[in-house]
Amino acid sequence: MSDATTKETRQFETEVGQLLHLMIHSLYSNKEIFMRELISNASDACDKLRFAALADDSLMADDPDLRIEVEFDKDARTITVRDNGIGMTRDEVVENIGTIAKSGTAEFLKSLTGDQAKDSHLIGQFGVGFYSSFIVADRVTLRTRKAGEPADAAVTWESSGESGYTIEPITKESRGTEVILHLREGEDEFLDGWRLRSIIRKYSDHVPLPIKMRKEDDKEKDEWETVNKANALWTLPKNEISDDEYKEFYKHVAHDFEDPLAWTHNRVEGKYEYTSLLYIPSKAPFDLYEPKQSHGIKLYVQRVFIMEDNENLMPRYLRFVRGVLDSNDLPLNVSREILQSNRVIENMKSGSVKKILGLLESMAKNEPEKYAEFWKEFGRVMKEGPVEDSANRERVLKLLRFASTHNDSDAQNVSLEDYIGRMKEGQEKIYYITADSYNAAKNSPHLEVFKKKGIEVLLMFDRVDEWMMGFISDFDGKSFQSVAKGELDLSKIKAEESEEEKKKHKEEEKAAKKILKKLKKALGDKVEDVRLSERLTDSPSCIVLSEYEMALYMQQLMKQAGQDVPTSKPVLEINPSHPIVKRMEQEKDDERFNGWAELLLDQAILAEGGQLEDPAGFVHRMNDMMLTLSK
């Protein structure tokens, strides 16, 4: 351990160094965003202090007016962004500044394409924050002191953004943080008061804190003026806010580089009064599937920031939503514990969910191409909704999209209402199949009879699908049925079938009784039953699980994850008209018949994404069949 009273040099992790190098080059065309990122961080620091001071007002007693200051020094070629917010301890500096996005860095680097335009979007999506300073600076110095700590508890952090950084104790008379950028050669455009003011007004005009700069015409340079409007954007009437202002405020509140896909701004009056400004991002954040997200909804009480919450203000399936909720009814000393069981919070949450669902419904109806963009980014998390949000289950189900046999494509663009609109006469169920890939679903033998009869089947291949369908029984009066589970009865569905085909089918049923008996004896306790298939037209066999069993591919994933999966026996269904089955009917050698029976079962298991207990035995039996049939 290093002595906290001495200067210490630390190395960046390899991935951080790579990321910094890529970021500096990829974001160079939009380099002025460094100011927005630093101001957003400073604003967050002030918000955190304001909240902490609700419990301990001494934290702000010496300097109660929260603000952000920006200044430049032409001679020294530096820009300084300063706040009198919460500040950081040495350990917090190492944790927050010494690392970059602790989870997901390696995955992010793998996703880079080498195309600077595309990579700049990815980098913005990843969220670089403080490190955007290195786009214009070849050295960055950070000086900070935690609110409530003595002056000699301050620290300074410095780095050139290459191999590592130094950190050492200093004395700092005021609380808060200042970031000093030592500009690269060729970046003198930022050593200009008018240029900096225009950047601040462009990106940070509605940060609800004064952003101050020294007056330009003040020779002594000791007078400061507020550069931004410093008003809470969400409190303004909608007709006074431009689309560009909405977009820039989103980038500030969500720490995102991209424009939002859509937003909804509402003032609610009645028993409870609150204002909401909620955004749907255009790109999924990198931590979307992490247990906890780094950003969420910002909660204000009468314009005073309370906390950023990603658990209580939105259900998990809408965890990508960003924005602001400002209540007139909550106490200023609200805590996270109060959030979990508070009528005001529940009312705001319920109302906000309805607004977001309404926004998505409108987008799906009026802007289908935009909705397709949304679905591509957030479709999988939306599928958590019908299970998690029973109050809005039907609304969420209407928003879901799936691939289907109606389209020869893996695009998920079929709604449940689309499917019902195309149902065959006499069809009472919504048929679907789950698999671990689009091709596995599309080529499943269970679909054969549906293709022959022209019955549409939804193809579900997201991992969440099998879990979701375990909780959903019906939609709009139509029950769901997996084509791979349970008994199948298509007799009520009108389909073209000649009298000859019906007669042939009955004859096959009668003739197959003998082989069914032999197969049951050969397979013994490996199967629950062997029966003729209503599903197959081209394949010799398939396995069918009970209605409530987990799909084989999902069972395999659970086992690989170390989970206990209840053992069960599948039903083997055979196609009596298939040449292999007909050849087996003629086989006199019981040992060979038994081997081929196991082969029918094994290939059916493989087709469903299962894993064989004896792969070598399968190969041996396959070779035996091939040799026998080739004679």
- Domains of the chain, with CATH numbers? 8-230 (3.30.565.10), 235-369 (3.30.230.80), 401-496 (3.40.50.11260), 500-545+553-630 (1.20.120.790)
What pLDDT does residue 190 have? 96
Bridging pattern class, strands 322-327 and 274-280: antiparallel
What pLDDT does residue 2 have? 47
Q: Where are the beta strands (DSSP E) in 27-175?
A: 68-73, 78-83, 137-145, 154-159, 164-170
What pLDDT does residue 1 have? 41
What pLDDT does residue 101 have? 45
* Maximum distance among all Cα pairs of the chain, rounded to whole angstroms: 108
Helix axes 513-523, 590-607, angle to 10 degrees: 80
Q: Alpha-carbon distance 406 to 419, whole Å?
A: 9
| Pair 176, 144: CB distance under 8 Å | yes
Strand, coil or helix: what is 365? helix
CA atoms within 13 A on the CB side of 343: 4
What pLDDT does residue 103 have? 42
What pLDDT does residue 465 have? 93
What pLDDT does residue 102 have? 46
What pLDDT does residue 134 have? 87
One-letter amino acid for residue 198 of the chain: S
Q: Alpha-carbon distance 511 to 494, whole Å?
A: 27
Closest C-alpha among 298, 304, 293, 314 to residue 104: 293
Strand, coil or helix: what is 182? strand
Closest C-alpha among 279, 283, 285 to residue 360: 279
Averages of pLDDT over runs of 10 residues in the chain (631 residues) are 69 68 66 87 90 89 93 96 95 75 52 56 56 88 96 94 87 96 94 94 88 82 87 92 93 87 94 94 86 81 80 91 91 70 88 96 96 96 96 96 94 96 93 92 92 94 92 94 87 67 71 88 91 89 82 71 75 90 88 90 86 86 83 69
What pLDDT does residue 521 have? 92
For residue 90, count other CB atoms closer than 10 A to its CB: 20
pTM given for the model: 0.77
**How far is residue 343 from each of residues 271, 313, 324, 335, 620, measured CA to CA in Å?**
11, 12, 18, 14, 66
One-letter amino acid for residue 139 of the chain: R
